[in-house]
A and B are shown apart, each in its own frame.
Chain A
Amino acid sequence: MQKIISKFFILLFVLYLSCENKTIRDKEGLIVYQENQISWVRNFEPLNPVSIPRWPTRGGIYESLYLNNPITTDWVPWLATNYKWENNNKKLLFTIRPNVQWSDGKPFSAHDVAYTLNLWNQYSALDTRNAWEYLKSVVAISDTLVQIDFKRIYVPGFEAIAGAPIIPKHIWKELEDPLDFSNPDPVGTGPFTEILRFNTQVWELGKNHNYWQKGKPYVEKLIFPTFSTNEQTTLALLSGKLDWAGAFIPAIQRIFVDKDPEHHHYWFRNTGHSTFLHTNTKDPILKDSNVRKAISYAINREQVVKVGMYDYTKPAHVTSLSGPMAKWHSPEINDKENWTAFNLEKANELLDNAGYRWKNEKERIDANGLPIKFDIIVVSGWSDWVRSAQVISQNLKKIGIKATVRTYDFGAWIVRMQQGKFQMAIGWADKGSTPYNFFKGMMFSEYVKPIGETADINWHRFGIKEADSLIKEFEQTSDPKKMENIIYKLQHLFIEHAPGIPLFTELSWAECNSKYFTNFPNAENPYGPLSPNESGVALTLLNVKKR
């Protein structure tokens, strides 16, 4: 028996030695984590909305005409150098950057852009923004000029076109069915295009030696090992086997930063938008905006943030816009009612005036003598939101409202949201590079569907005529001054009607270990997003350097 045991340990030792030298990391490659995955599928198809291509297919391999910088929310000229609205905003012209090459050496031109946009028309499954609902024609007038004619004036269409990945015509036109294409060997204009190695456990993406920004990127290659859980990711970051990650880490100061403050960094950046407590405005009680405001007043957001969100985020602004979006705040914002401030007296007063009386100091009742009860539905397993909902439920008890937290699996939750079969829920709101998408999602009455019918936007089912006309006006103008004024008015409407209750600011999770690589963006040097999950991540990919 002892012989067997000693043999076993010798075998173990040999195994250990034989593998030890191979676990040393490759210091040439930037090791990145972006998604939980256990084995890689070789898919680099950027167009099809149902395919989930390997990151960074959209942005790193394939580029767009303009790049949306999430920190400034500006559109940066990228594959195009300029754009111009003509013919009363019914014609859009893009000047295409000259001397850009595809990674296979073929020249990139306006013809590729026109081909990409026309492909959406040919295959409506690729038209993820439903752009051909307002587009009339797309033509390449010369190698460097694309002309886009609109059926109707729709200025936000610029974002759909400018932000879309452009694919090479000479590859796609050979395809029999672009819907059934996994693009295993991508040819793009982006900074990283060469698949150096691909197996189910790890793959490597090498830099594009033909890249149009000369000298960039600085990093030779990106390496993507699989990580299946956040715990795995955290351990790998700590041990220097991972350089850059977009993962949620609880108590990050103690768990991560304090272990090596010189190299371990994180930047949980405010995206400018908020997480919401959605209120179903078709509910007989919640349809009253004063009740919604009362609920908002009663929520102790400091406590929600502390208990639910590890104190990472901040209580939301009453317009839901903050951080990079704060520049849109109306000049009169400070004179408006601030119903996201914690104020129990105000909450009680609003409920008293709305006719909901106290019964035995414990609960409020309606005109029929029934107690006020709501369910707050949350996705099970999204523990930060579940905890937030529990705090809110405690808070609402103080104003006599009984709110029960119910958790559902994501599939069940989203069906309830879309069909309007909920009273209150924690969820996200629509967002974009301007507050337009947000206000449209919150108050546009054409999006309101009857209860039971699937609505992909406006789950809370709120719409008013004043907002409709402002939104339509916004869609017609390309004048920045006018746009600003419309957004101010939309804010005032939002504050007046409280169609949803902003809870706390939304962050993007990101951390890096700068032991082997440096020049990651941070709050002091915010040249790009640190989270690989954000738009405009190409800015970061281009500037990270080997130490």
Chain B
Amino acid sequence: MNKSVLYILRRFGFYLIAAFAALTLNFIIPRLMPGDPASIIFARFKGKLKPEAINAMRESFGLTNDPILVQYTSYLKGIFQGELGTSIAYFPEPVSEIIGRGLYWTIFLAGSSMIIAFTIGTTLGIIIAWNRTGKLDTFLPPALAFFGAFPYFWLAMVFLYIFGFSMNWFPIGRAYGGEINPGLNLPFLLSALYHAFLPALTLVFVSLGGWMLSMRNTMISTLGSDYITFANAKGIPSRLIMLRYAARNAILPNLTGFGMALGFMLSGALLTEMIFSYPGQGFLLLQAVTSQDYPLMQGIFMTITFAVLGANWLVDIAILFLDPRTRK
């Protein structure tokens, strides 16, 4: 077990260095973008603003002409104090508050649909690989690959149009009903679930195939291993072989993929959020990029970075328990 702790700590150290590198990139990249925020605001007013006002605005935005190193240290200092600055697109609101508001909707929508897609997809993958001449195996993989190949935004719009607009089964936008005041009450929770259903369905629908296919493929190669044949020969119940012997080994690549996907989920739900008017991170990111809102952009990239690294560290720990080889 000592070795395991060492392993976890070593991975943690690695992620710490990765986090530092990512934070530095996060500082540099927005500054390489063409155009500075003040001149974008200039343009928004189509010539009604004069330079005197612009300078005062720069100050109130906290945009300075300090040397880049000074900016960098104050940026790092800000991060450790949880101070992400004031947003430009949503002036004068602090970035941390804006992100905080969008984040939990994204985690709720994209997170739950990812877990659902992963669970269903992996389970289906196990089942169809086990019965790989069955009807499910001939039908499901091509069907899901077919739907997965559609452009996502198109599929989501079709869902929105058919189920939301034409049939009027589901709301066509937003995260909860207009009449409901958010809080911990049943109508709000039901309304939130009801509103999330259609966007979540589209997300599950397109990502299901990927999980299922990769699980099926590793599962099939695992099933060809000698130890499976040996386990069969020993007369171990087939259900046990399927889950404890084959699936446990075959799931490792999928689990790593899950860790990666968890991070991308924070930005990847952009299209879903646009199409369903869902108040999450993705739309914020778009807004931040189009209005050169450096503080907001940096804040969002930072949450994404930390989410990817954190999720991967957790996956490393999970693999430690699933795969004894990593413990040596």
Contacts and interface: CB of A to CB of B under 8 A. Distances in A.
A428 interface: yes
A22 B60 CA distance: 43
A236 B168 CA distance: 12
A50 B87 CA distance: 11
B173 A200 contact: no
Contact of A201 (B88, B93, B102, B175): B175
B292 A128 contact: no
B303 interface: no
B174 A22 contact: no
B187 A228 contact: no
B165 A179 contact: no
Interface in B125-167: 157, 160-161, 164-165
Interface stretch (A334-342, A369-377, A408-416): A408-416
A231 B287 CA distance: 18
Given A50-B57, A127-B53, A179-B60, A411 B190 contact: no
Nearest to A409: B34
A245 B278 CA distance: 20
B46 A226 contact: no
A457 interface: yes
A22 B40 contact: no
Contacts of B21: none
A124 B53 contact: yes
Contact of B279 (A39, A239, A454): A39
Contacts of B287: 38
A411 B297 CA distance: 15
A475 B197 CA distance: 61
B40 A223 contact: no
Interface in A15-62: 15-16, 18-19, 22-23, 26, 38-39, 41, 43, 48-52
Nearest to A418: B39
Nearest to A202: B178
Interface residues of A, number: 64
Interface in B11-44: 33-36, 39-43
Report which residue of A49, A52, A179, A180 has the largest number of chain B beta carbons within 10 angstroms of its beta carbon.
A49
A426 B212 CA distance: 49
A426 to B, nearest CB: 14
Given A38-B277, A415-B34, A125 B56 contact: yes
Contacts of B325: none
A225 B50 CA distance: 35
B68 interface: no
A180 B172 contact: no
Contact of A26 (B43, B165, B172, B179): B179
Given A38-B283, A50-B61, A226-B277, A410 B179 contact: no
B191 A411 contact: no
Nearest to B98: A41
A76 interface: no
A124 to B, nearest CB: 5
A235 B40 contact: no
B194 A15 contact: yes
A236 B53 contact: no
B175 to A, nearest CB: 6
Contact of A19 (B53, B60, B90, B190): B190
Nearest to A228: B277
Contacts of B60: 48, 50, 125, 179-180
Contacts of B61: 50
Contacts of B191: 19, 22
Nearest to A241: B172
Contacts of B46: 428, 430-431
Contacts of B290: 409-410
A41 B283 CA distance: 14
Contacts of A354: none
A232 B256 CA distance: 36
Given A38-B283, A415-B34, A225 B174 contact: yes
Contacts of B280: 38
B180 interface: yes
Contact of B49 (A39, A128, A226, A441): A128
A509 interface: no
A50 B48 CA distance: 13
Interface in B36-85: 36, 39-43, 45-50, 52-53, 56-57, 59-61
Contacts of B50: 130, 133
A430 B46 CA distance: 7
A199 interface: yes
Contacts of A533: none
A182 interface: yes
Nearest to B290: A410
B101 interface: yes
B41 A22 contact: no
Contacts of A202: 174, 178
A50 B88 contact: yes
B284 interface: yes
Contact of B164 (A50, A200, A235, A431): A235
B101 A39 contact: yes
Nearest to A455: B47
Given A180-B92, A410-B40, A239 B165 contact: yes
B182 interface: yes
Given A228-B283, A232-B277, A414 B43 contact: yes
B90 A225 contact: no
A501 B69 CA distance: 46
19 contacts: A22-B191, A38-B280, A48-B60, A51-B92, A52-B90, A125-B60, A129-B48, A179-B56, A199-B181, A200-B279, A235-B160, A239-B165, A239-B172, A410-B290, A411-B35, A411-B40, A414-B39, A414-B43, A418-B39
In the complex, the 8 A-B pairs of residues with the closest C-beta atoms, listed nearest first: A411-B35, A125-B56, A130-B50, A412-B34, A457-B47, A39-B279, A38-B283, A228-B277
Interface of A: 12, 15-16, 18-19, 22-23, 26, 38-39, 41, 43, 48-52, 123-130, 133, 179-182, 197, 199-202, 223, 225-229, 231-232, 235-236, 238-239, 241, 408-412, 414-415, 417-418, 428, 430-431, 441, 454, 456-457
